[in-house]
């Protein structure tokens, strides 16, 4: 059977970076086994739907390059791929369970359920709608058949609940956690169809996975406790032979290592915990990796290793290498700490490896928005000069303003301390040499400047800092002679003259 996996987010909020990791592992597994990666939108919780959330999910997957083989926008043979468009399917299967005695109608009001909860708590326990008390509630198992029909005909609201038999053991093998056991005595009669005619996650999930021929379910560990009910549903439908293999992924932990990573952590620390930024009028602001200057390749590489290890201390991998090396069995059980510094390290590695023209394409809009005029070649030279020094794409602009603006502030204290008649004389010899010099390429410029300094018999450490501060305003920075090449003769000579005046005035 061909491998088929699905990523099934709910558009009830912003897609968390942990959800992207779940999508990534599904994608890697599908590609590893030449199978299909499916995007299914689980939008049955109509009260919590957020406008724009579905598009945000799709935009996020597109940004990181996890394009599904089947989705609402790219349907295949197993659609529809939005659960809200499959309601008749769920209703038919729910009725099938009722007809076979595996599920039942429940007419309990919210007031009755609340009263039952209070009574259970007063007795020192917790309310669980189950075999232990279902006969005391108002449902088709405790009511005469004629009364049930009258209630339905009268339009009384009802839900359909799964009938969980007592004293059963539910055992399954999780590809990450190995053998997992549940007792049915600890399970409630889960609601399968709500009074509004929409299915709950549990029914829709199982029906869709079966009909879409899903072979492996790879999802977060928060769904581990629900798996017992899902297995009971497979049994109730007689689909046990077609049940997918389950894998429940470990949590992504806070940077401190204590507890699950959340939006609050991102807000508190000023770090991205979402793929893309989103300013939503109802939900608030969400800070994304893209807007923080991260490359999607780097984000994917970082996320892949939050729970999975390919072995041999391998860290840097492109998507093809990840696919070749991926194995569910090498995913750990324990949570992985979200280390933003490690994410930045990955981003730095990818920035250094990118071609300058590709980076220039990605950051060019920032320079345009800043009002800077440039040609593509100049920007590519600037990128090449800086890409080993920056951590994210947002660093390029502030690190290169001196190429586009007149210098307003000079870090000149260190230069002033060493400035004297000899230094000034050598400095002006260099300025005069550069005024008459050509061609203006970095290698030739370096040879010329070093030649003048050597002839005058002074140390490079005395002159180079003065040249750098005069040209950039900063005491430290990238290659001095590449800076000269990019600035060009006119700007270099002009700035060196201004620097000479500044150093003499302050001395």
- The pLDDT value recorded for residue 90 is 98
For 52-210, strand residue ranges (E) read 103-106, 159-162, 169-174, 178-183, 191-193
Confidence of residue 462 (pLDDT cuts 50, 70, 90): confident
Residue 342, judged by CB atoms within 10 A of its CB (0-12, 13-18, 19+), counts as middle
In the chain the domains, ranked by start, together with CATH numbers, are 88-193 (3.90.800.10), 354-405 (1.10.8), 406-507 (1.10.10.350)
How would residue 486 be classed by pLDDT, with cut points 50, 70 and 90? very high
What is the C-alpha to C-alpha distance for residues 442 and 436, in angstroms, rounded to an integer? 15
Q: Which one is catalytic: 260, 263, 342, 418?
A: 263
Per-residue model confidence as pLDDT tens digits over 260-309? 999 999 999 999 999 999 999 988 999 999 999 999 999 999 999 999 99
Give the residue-averaged pLDDT of 4-27: 96
Condensed to tens digits (0 to 9), the pLDDT of residues 343-353 reads: 999 999 999 99
Question: What's the rounded Cα separation, in Å, for the pair 118 and 360?
Answer: 64
Catalytic site residue 263? yes
**Contact (CB, 8 A) for 338 and 281:** no
Q: State the distance between the two ends of the chain, measured CA to CA, in whole angstroms.
A: 81
pLDDT at 458: 85
What pLDDT score does 438 carry?
83
Structure tokens of 64? Answer: 């990181």
What is the tens place of the pLDDT at every residue in 189-247? 999 999 999 999 999 999 999 999 999 999 999 999 999 999 999 999 999 999 999 99
Q: Residue 62's pLDDT is what? A: 98
What pLDDT does 255 receive? 95
pLDDT at position 136 over 90: yes
% of the chain at pLDDT higher than 90: 94
CB distance 391 to 460 below 8 Å:
no
Taking CA atoms, 436 is separated from 127, 449, 469, 490, 499, in Å, by 90, 12, 22, 11, 19
| pLDDT at 8 (0 to 100) | 97
pLDDT the model gives residue 348: 98
């Amino acid at each position: 059977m061909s491998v088929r996996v699905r990523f099934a987010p709910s558009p009830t909020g912003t897609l968390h970076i942990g959800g992207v990791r779940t999508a990534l592992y599904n994608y890697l597994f599908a590609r590893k086994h030449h199978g299909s990666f499916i995007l299914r939108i689980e939008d049955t919780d109509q009260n919590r739907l957020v406008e724009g959330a579905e598009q945000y999910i799709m935009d996020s997957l597109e940004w990181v390059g996890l394009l599904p083989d089947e989705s609402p926008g790219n349907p295949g043979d197993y659609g529809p791929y939005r659960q809200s468009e499959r309601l008749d399917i769920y209703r038919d299967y729910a009725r099938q369970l009722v007809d076979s005695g595996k599920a039942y109608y429940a007419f309990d009001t919210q007031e009755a359920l609340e009263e039952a909860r209070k009574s259970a708590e007063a007795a020192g326990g917790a309310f669980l709608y189950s075999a232990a008390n279902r006969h005391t509630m108002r449902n088709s198992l405790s009511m005469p058949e004629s009364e049930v029909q009258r209630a339905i005909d009268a339009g009384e609201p009802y839900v359909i609940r799964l009938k969980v038999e007592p004293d059963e053991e539910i055992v399954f093998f999780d590809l990450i956690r190995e053998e997992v056991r549940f007792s049915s005595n600890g399970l409630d009669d889960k609601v399968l169809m709500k009074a509004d005619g929409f299915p709950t996650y549990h029914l829709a999930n199982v029906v869709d996975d079966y009909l879409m021929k899903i072979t492996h379910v790879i999802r977060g560990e928060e769904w581990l406790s629900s798996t017992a009910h899902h297995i009971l549903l497979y049994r109730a439908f007689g689909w046990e032979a077609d049940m997918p293999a389950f894998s429940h992924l470990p949590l992504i932990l806070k940077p401190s290592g204590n507890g699950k990573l959340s939006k609050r952590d991102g807000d508190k620390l000023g770090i991205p915990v979402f793929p893309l930024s989103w300013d939503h009028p109802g939900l608030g602001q969400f800070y994304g990796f893209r807007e923080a200057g991260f490359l999607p390749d780097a984000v994917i590489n970082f996320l892949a290793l939050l729970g999975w290890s390919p072995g041999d201390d391998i860290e840097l991998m492109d998507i093809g290498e990840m696919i070749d090396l991926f194995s569910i069995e090498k995913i750990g059980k324990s949570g992985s700490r979200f280390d933003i510094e490690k994410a930045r390290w990955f981003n730095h590695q990818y920035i250094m490896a990118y071609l300058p023209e590709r980076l220039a394409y990605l950051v060019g809009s920032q320079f345009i928005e800043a009002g800077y005029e440039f040609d593509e070649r100049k920007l590519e030279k600037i990128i090449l000069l800086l890409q080993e020094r920056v951590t994210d794409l947002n660093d390029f602009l502030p690190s290169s303003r001196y190429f586009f603006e007149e210098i307003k502030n000079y870090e000149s204290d260190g230069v002033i301390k060493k400035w004297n008649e000899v230094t000034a004389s050598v400095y002006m010899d260099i300025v005069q040499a550069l005024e008459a010099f050509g061609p203006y390429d970095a290698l030739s410029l370096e040879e010329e400047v070093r030649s003048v300094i050597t002839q005058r018999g002074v140390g490079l450490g005395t002159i180079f800092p003065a040249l750098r501060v005069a040209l950039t305003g900063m005491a430290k920075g990238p290659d001095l002679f590449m800076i000269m090449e990019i600035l060009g003769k006119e700007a270099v000579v002009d700035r060196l003259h201004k620097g000479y005046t500044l150093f003499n005035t302050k001395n």
